[in-house]
Structure 1
Amino acid sequence: MPLIQVTLIEGRTIDAKAALIGGLTDAAVTALGVPRESVRVIIQEVPAAHWGVGGLPKSAAKEQLRDSKS
């Protein structure tokens, strides 16, 4: 039974997450030849303040981008 774990910054829609789950399941079925029913997908969502990019929290990068557009 394949288990696929994905970590994302929170904020995506339910439809987007459902599409991701479907696509990952399809990929596992194709690549591994396993039954669709045996594939498990876990999505863990992380707040932007807990996700660092280039030494800054992702939430700070969003704030900087928003401020630069003002």
Structure 2
Amino acid sequence: MPIVTVKMLEGRSDDQKKALAAKVTDAVVETTGATPDKVSIIIEEMKKTDYAVGGVRVSDQ
């Protein structure tokens, strides 16, 4: 049972997250041979204040 976690900054619409889950599921099915009902997708959204690149929070850029 493949489980995929996607971490991204908040701000995507529900439609974008639905499309992401569908396409990631398709990719996992194609590459692993798992059936779609066995593929789990977890989308974790982060606030821009909780993520930094190069020592600078994204919210401060």
> TM-score band (shorter)?
over 0.9
TM-score if structure 1 supplies the norm length?
A: 0.84
1:1-70 equivalent positions in 2, closer than 5 A = 1-61=1-61
- Which gives a bigger RCO, structure 1 or 2 (Cα 8 Å, sep 6+)? 2
Percent of residue pairs bearing the same amino acid type: 38
1:53, CA displacement in angstroms? 1.2
TM-score if structure 2 supplies the norm length?
A: 0.96
Moved over 6 A (4+): none
Which residue type is aligned with residue 40 of structure 1? S
Deviations 1:15-38 (A, max 9, x none): 111111001000000000111100
Which residue type is aligned with residue 19 of structure 2? A
Structure 1 regions of 5+ residues with no counterpart?
A: 62-70
Q: Counting helix residues as a fraction of each chain, which structure ranks higher?
A: 1
Larger radius of gyration: 1
Give the length in aligned residue pairs: 61
